[in-house]
Homo-oligomer: A and B are copies of this chain.
């Protein structure tokens, strides 16, 4: 039986840290669905269409990475797609607590769901979408932090 995990997030935009987590997950699941959420507490820089399109460009030819979007509760999306595994990257203590809270809420909402955590390579440890946006908004070079297609999209957004 095929083993599939969902990797949910706002991916605003996707970074080398996210990509590292996806690569690593392919060592123990057959397929990963990168599921971009439309619902976020913060305003996003990229529209959901743009965020999905950027990830699709990167995983264009991959047979094992699918890109999708979802509205509403993650557990409902997973039920519909018949996926039971959530994939999450863990970088820092602050992540850790937020992740715990979400995991326990998800378990309460659907007890069959399991969350597995991976740690990105240490060179991606401190890369986050927010820091990338902060540097790009100041017209700094973000090419070490994001794939080329994302770096260009950031340059267009911030006109440099």
Contact = CB atoms under 8 A, between A and B. Distances in A.
Interface of A: 3, 5, 24, 27-29, 39, 41, 72-73, 75-76, 84-85, 90, 92-94, 96-97, 100-105, 107-109, 112, 114-119, 121-123, 125-128, 131, 134-135, 137-141, 144-145
A142 B148 CA distance: 36
- Tell me the number of copies of this protein: 6
Contacts of A100: 92, 119, 126
21 contacts: A5-B28, A24-B114, A27-B84, A27-B85, A28-B29, A28-B85, A72-B138, A73-B135, A90-B96, A92-B101, A102-B131, A104-B125, A105-B131, A105-B145, A108-B145, A109-B140, A116-B117, A116-B118, A117-B118, A122-B122, A125-B125
Contacts of A94: 94, 97
Contacts of A97: 92-94
Contacts of A41: 134
Given A41-B134, A73-B140, A116 B84 contact: no
A19 to B, nearest CB: 15
Nearest to A96: B96
A114 B73 contact: no
Contacts of A96: 90, 93, 96
Given A28-B85, A139-B72, A101 B118 contact: no
